[in-house]
Amino acid sequence: MTTITNSLPALKEYGREMGYDLGWLEASPSWGQRVEPGRGGLVLDDVEGAAPEAPDESRNLTGRPRGTLARSAVPRVGNYSVRTKADIWLRNAAELYEEAQQRQWSSATDIPWERVTALPDEIERAECQLATFLTEVEFVAGDVPGRWISSVTPDYFEPRMFLISQVMDEARHLDVFRKRALVNGGGLMQRTAAAAAVTGGAIDSARDFSEMSARLHMSGEGSVLTLFRIGELMAYNDAEKQIYRLAAQDESRHVAFGVMHLQYLAQAAPDRREEIQTYLDEAERNLVTGASGQNPASTGAPSSEALAVLLGHGVDNYDEGMRLLLAARQRQVREYFQRVKVAGFGERFENGRANKMLEQYVNAA
């Protein structure tokens, strides 16, 4: 038997003498640098110091994880349309992903369903109409981010991972609102009638990631988030309160992703600022008119009437419910203003570009 030392070259030589290839077994420049888990365990940001940073442009077309050593004979399988960092990046995607992991919940067991008790028929119908709307639209934010996951180079895996967590969150939202419609003597009600996908301008039809994100995260999900946040006002039991609370927690992450992405884009690609402003023009029109089909509070929609019934505690108090709904719409707009300002596009509210109808909402008594 050959006497060998434990040095890597010696071990490798020994292995080769035994007939193995071992050409892949090379010493690592970071050998000896152990990463210690922090208080929150071992999060992605902890280990990324040991791997290369995301490049400004990616030429990775083989699907290899960032930092992996490339081979020359691997087929180019990645038809990645998003290979420029500014087109997808944000500073805290890994953190948002880890938070999503930590805050998963179960619609089966974390909602106190036994607290749902019989409601007056008109209230139950309004609950079911709103739940039908939400179970229909929530997975828009599952299907569409899903499509983008496979379009983004794995060199930008942090935003991809966040989008993966969003797909999971939206599955749970579809599920929890379907459950709400079917647990209390009601049923599913009328579906929505949005038609924007045919003529473009819809979340589904966006052909640029930032455009999609402006429509989905800044506008669509932002408007739903406001309503989840006032869930206490339209909930009739602890189960509904818990649904809105937990869904708002998820939705906050999704909206934060959109805000932080636009913020990064504004700084990293200032030549795209005007283009982004046009998406915001569109987002504002959708918010006011409900054309996107994403805002349950938009005028004339069955879900909007259902909200007024819920907020007013019945059809007899519809005007009071409508007054509260208008206040909710104002809050939607105020929160939208805030998001746009944080993203770095607030000048539209100073230079007269913002949709005048938004001003009407905000300035209303």
Partner 1 sequence: MANQNVRAAGSSEPPALDWMSRTLQWGTRVRPDKGGVTLGALNVGIYGDIPDEWDDMTRMPRGAFPLRGVPAIGGYTQRRKADLWADNAAELYEEAISRGWVPARDVPWDQAMPLAEDVELAMAQVCTELSQEASIETEVLSGWLQELSFGYHEIKLFLATEVFDAGRHFELFRKRALINGAGLRLESPGQVNRMLLESRAGWTETSILLHLLRGCFTQTVYRYCAAYAPTDADAFIFRGALQDKARHLAYGMQHLRYAIAHRPDFDEQVQRFMTGAELSVTRDDADPVLWEALAIVFGRGIRHMDTGMNVVSRMRQDYVRTYLDRMKWAGIDRHARLLPAFASVLGLATSAA
Q: How far is the CB of 149 from partner 1 (least distance, A)?
A: 4
Q: How far is the CB of 187 from partner 1 (least distance, A)?
A: 5
Measured from the CB atom, is 73 or 271 closer to partner 1?
73
**Alpha-carbon distance 115 to 111, whole Å?**
9
Measured from the CB atom, is 338 or 360 closer to partner 1?
360
Measured from the CB atom, is 263 or 289 closer to partner 1?
289
Measured from the CB atom, is 249 or 263 closer to partner 1?
249
Measured from the CB atom, is 144 or 248 closer to partner 1?
144
Q: How far is the CB of 140 from partner 1 (least distance, A)?
A: 7
Q: How far is the CB of 205 from partner 1 (least distance, A)?
A: 7
**Is the separation of the CB atoms in 337 and 263 below 8 Å?**
no
Q: Which of 316, 268, 355, 329 is nearest to 123 (CA)?
A: 316
Measured from the CB atom, is 112 or 344 closer to partner 1?
112
Local structure of 84: helix, strand or coil: strand
**Is the separation of the CB atoms in 195 and 130 below 8 Å?**
no
Q: Which of 55, 105, 49 is nearest to 80 (CA)?
A: 55
Q: Which residue has the tokens 């008109």?
A: 122
Q: How far is the CB of 66 from partner 1 (least distance, A)?
A: 8
**Alpha-carbon distance 281 to 292, whole Å?**
13
Measured from the CB atom, is 218 or 297 closer to partner 1?
297
**Alpha-carbon distance 97 to 264, whole Å?**
17
Q: How far is the CB of 210 from partner 1 (least distance, A)?
A: 19
Q: How far is the CB of 317 from partner 1 (least distance, A)?
A: 12
Q: How far is the CB of 133 from partner 1 (least distance, A)?
A: 10
User: 11 burial class (0-12, 13-18, 19+ CB within 10 angstroms)?
Assistant: middle
**Alpha-carbon distance 134 to 130, whole Å?**
6
Q: Which residue has the tokens 């206490």?
A: 232
Q: Which residues contact 131 (CB under 8 A, 6 or more apart)?
A: 177, 178, 180, 181, 188
Measured from the CB atom, is 46 or 281 closer to partner 1?
46
Structure tokens at 117: 């008790």
**Alpha-carbon distance 268 to 88, whole Å?**
11
Q: How far is CA 192 from CA 137, 189, 195, 326, in A?
A: 9, 10, 9, 21
